Structure 1
Amino acid sequence: MMDQISALDPTSVEDVIGKATAALLGQARDDGHWVFELEADATIPAEYILLVHYLGETPNLELERKIGTYLRRIQGSHGGWPLFHDGAFNLSATVKAYFALKMIGDAPDAPHMARARQAILAQGGADKANVFTRIQLALYGESAWRDTPTVPAELILLPRWFPIHLFKMSYWARTVIVPLLVLQALQPLARNPRNIHVPELFVPHGAHAANRAPHQSRGWSAFFGGLDRVLKLAGSLWPKGLRRRAIERCRAFVTERLNGEDGLGAIYPAMANSVMMFDALGYPETHPDRAIARLSVEKLLVIKDDEAYCQPCVSPVWDTALMCHALMEVRSEAADTAAMRGLEWLKTRQVLDVKGDWAEERPDVRPGGWAFQYNNAHYPDLDDTAVVVMALDRARATVAPGADHALAIDRGSEWVVGLQSRNGGWGAFDADNTYHYLNNIPFADHGALLDPPTEDVTGRCIGMLAQLGEKPDSPRIKAAVDYLARVQLKDGSWFGRWGVNYIYGTWSALAGLNAVQVDPRSDMMRRAVDWLVAIQNADGGWGEDCDSYRLDYRGYQPAPSTASQTAWALLGLMAASEVDHPAVARGIAYLKATQEDDGLWGQEHYTGGGFPRVFYLRYHGYPKFFPLWAVARYRNLKAGNSRRVAYGL
Structure 2
Amino acid sequence: MTGSLSTQDRVRQALDDAGKALLAAARPGSWPNPRRPAVSGAAGAVLALHVADPDRSADLIADGVDWLVRAQNDDGGWGTLEHLPSDFVATAMATAALRLVAGESGAEAVARGLGWIRRRGGVEGLDDPMMAQLTGLVLSIAGLYDANRLRRVPVELLLLPARLRRRLLSYLTPPFVALAFMQARQRRHGRLARAVERLARPVAVRLLEEFFRQEGESGSYGGDPWLTGLVCTALSRANAAPHLVRASVGYLRATAQPGGAWHLVHGVERDRVEVTGMAFSVHGLVRAGLADDARVLAGRDWLARCQQREPSVVYASPAGAWTWTGRTGWPNALETVLVLRILVDTERDEETDRILDRGVAWLRAQQDNRGSWSTFVRNSLVPLDGPCPFITAVAVEILHAAGVSTADPVIERALRWLAKSQAPDGSFEARWHRGGAPATAAVVHALSRLGMSGHPVAIRARDWLLASQRDDGSWSDGRGDGTPDETGHAVSALVACGQHEAARRGVEWLVAAQGPDGWWEPGQCCIYIRDHVHYCDPLIAQGLAVGALAAFGGGGR
Contact 1:39-1:312 within 8 A present in 2 as well: no
State how 1:332-347 maps to structure 2 within 5 Å. Answer: 332=290, 336-347=293-304
Q: 2:325 aligns with which of 359, 373, 376?
A: 373
Cα-to-partner distance string for 1:64-92 (whole Å, 9 max, x where unaligned) = 45664455445254x43456899876445
2:313 alignment counterpart: 356
Aligned residues: CA RMSD:
3.3
2:206 alignment counterpart: 252
1:222 alignment counterpart: none
Q: 1:630 aligns with which of 542, 548, 553?
A: 548
Alpha-carbon distance, 1:410 to partner: 0.9
2:446 equivalent to 1:512: yes
3-state SS of the aligned residue for 1:404?
helix
2:7 equivalent to 1:17: no
2:353 equivalent to 1:395: no
Deviates further, 416-425 or 5-14: 5-14
Alpha-carbon distance, 1:636 to partner: 1.8
Contact 2:96-2:141 within 8 A present in 1 as well: no
Cα-to-partner distance string for 1:34-56 (whole Å, 9 max, x where unaligned) = 24155686433323222222235
Contact 2:372-2:389 within 8 A present in 1 as well: yes
**Residue 591 to residue 74, structure 1, CA distance change in 2 (3 Å):** farther
Cα-to-partner distance string for 1:230-278 (whole Å, 9 max, x where unaligned) = x746234x28xx92x6423322222232122262333345422442355
2:389 equivalent to 1:455: yes
Separation (CA, whole Å) in 1 of partners of 2:436 and 2:508 = 22
2:481 equivalent to 1:560: yes
2:263 equivalent to 1:310: yes
Amino acid at match of 2:247: I
1:117 alignment counterpart: 114
2:209 equivalent to 1:291: no
Q: 2:525 aligns with which of 592, 600, 607?
A: 607
Q: 1:431 aligns with which of 373, 378, 386?
A: 378
Cα-to-partner distance string for 1:133-176 (whole Å, 9 max, x where unaligned) = 12113334544443343346554333358xxx532224321122
3-state SS of the aligned residue for 2:307?
coil
Alpha-carbon distance, 1:61 to partner: 4.7
Contact 1:83-1:614 within 8 A present in 2 as well: no
2:536 equivalent to 1:618: yes
3-state SS of the aligned residue for 1:497?
coil
Contact 1:351-1:368 within 8 A present in 2 as well: yes
State how 1:206-605 maps to structure 2 within 5 Å. Answer: 232=190, 234-236=192-194, 238=195, 243=198, 246-258=200-212, 259=215, 260-261=217-218, 263-280=220-237, 282=239, 289-303=244-258, 308-312=261-265, 314=267, 316-332=274-290, 336-359=293-316, 366-377=318-329, 379-396=330-347, 402=349, 404-434=351-381, 451-518=385-452, 520-544=453-477, 557=478, 559-578=480-499, 581-603=500-522, 605=523
Query: Which of 1 and 2 has greater Rg?
Result: 1
3-state SS of the aligned residue for 1:511?
helix
Amino acid at match of 1:373: T
Separation (CA, whole Å) in 2 of partners of 1:36 and 1:331 = 22
Alpha-carbon distance, 1:528 to partner: 2.1
Amino acid at match of 2:177: V
Alpha-carbon distance, 1:483 to partner: 1.1
Contact 1:387-1:464 within 8 A present in 2 as well: no
Separation (CA, whole Å) in 2 of partners of 1:458 and 1:5 = 41
Contact 1:83-1:616 within 8 A present in 2 as well: yes
State how 1:126-145 maps to structure 2 within 5 Å. Answer: 130-145=132-147
Contact 2:44-2:225 within 8 A present in 1 as well: no
Contact 2:174-2:221 within 8 A present in 1 as well: yes
**Residue 301 to residue 38, structure 1, CA distance change in 2 (3 Å):** farther
Cα-to-partner distance string for 1:2-31 (whole Å, 9 max, x where unaligned) = x9897335443222222111111122232x
Alpha-carbon distance, 1:120 to partner: 3.1
Cα-to-partner distance string for 1:567-598 (whole Å, 9 max, x where unaligned) = 111012123232xx222112111222222221
* Unaligned segments of structure 2, at least 5 residues: 127-131, 268-272
Contact 1:425-1:458 within 8 A present in 2 as well: yes
Cα-to-partner distance string for 1:366-390 (whole Å, 9 max, x where unaligned) = 311111112444x211121122122
1:551 alignment counterpart: none
Separation (CA, whole Å) in 1 of partners of 2:191 and 2:429 = 42
Separation (CA, whole Å) in 2 of partners of 1:34 and 1:89 = 29
3-state SS of the aligned residue for 2:77?
coil
3-state SS of the aligned residue for 2:320?
coil
Alpha-carbon distance, 1:183 to partner: 4.2
- Number of residues of Structure 1 aligned to a counterpart in Structure 2: 542
2:97 alignment counterpart: 100
Separation (CA, whole Å) in 1 of partners of 2:513 and 2:23 = 20
* Unaligned segments of structure 1, at least 5 residues: 190-228, 436-447, 545-556, 640-649
**Residue 623 to residue 184, structure 1, CA distance change in 2 (3 Å):** same
3-state SS of the aligned residue for 1:257?
helix
3-state SS of the aligned residue for 2:367?
coil
Amino acid at match of 1:471: S
State how 1:51-130 maps to structure 2 within 5 Å. Answer: 51-55=48-52, 57-58=54-55, 59-61=57-59, 64-65=62-63, 68-69=66-67, 72-73=70-71, 75=73, 77=75, 79-81=76-78, 90-102=87-99, 103-104=101-102, 110=108, 114-123=111-120, 125=122, 130=132
2:160 equivalent to 1:158: yes
* Higher helix proportion: 2
Separation (CA, whole Å) in 1 of partners of 2:159 and 2:10 = 64
Amino acid at match of 1:597: P
Separation (CA, whole Å) in 2 of partners of 1:249 and 1:609 = 30
3-state SS of the aligned residue for 1:559?
coil
Cα-to-partner distance string for 1:577-629 (whole Å, 9 max, x where unaligned) = 32xx22211211122222222111123x3110122212212212122222111
Contact 1:44-1:310 within 8 A present in 2 as well: yes
**Residue 8 to residue 70, structure 1, CA distance change in 2 (3 Å):** farther
**Residue 262 to residue 572, structure 1, CA distance change in 2 (3 Å):** farther
Amino acid at match of 1:600: W
Amino acid at match of 2:381: T
Separation (CA, whole Å) in 2 of partners of 1:271 and 1:85 = 19
Contact 1:340-1:395 within 8 A present in 2 as well: no
Q: 1:50 aligns with which of 47, 50, 70?
A: 47
1:212 alignment counterpart: none
**TM (normalized to structure 1)?**
0.75
Separation (CA, whole Å) in 2 of partners of 1:28 and 1:262 = 28
**Residue 4 to residue 521, structure 1, CA distance change in 2 (3 Å):** farther
2:129 alignment counterpart: none
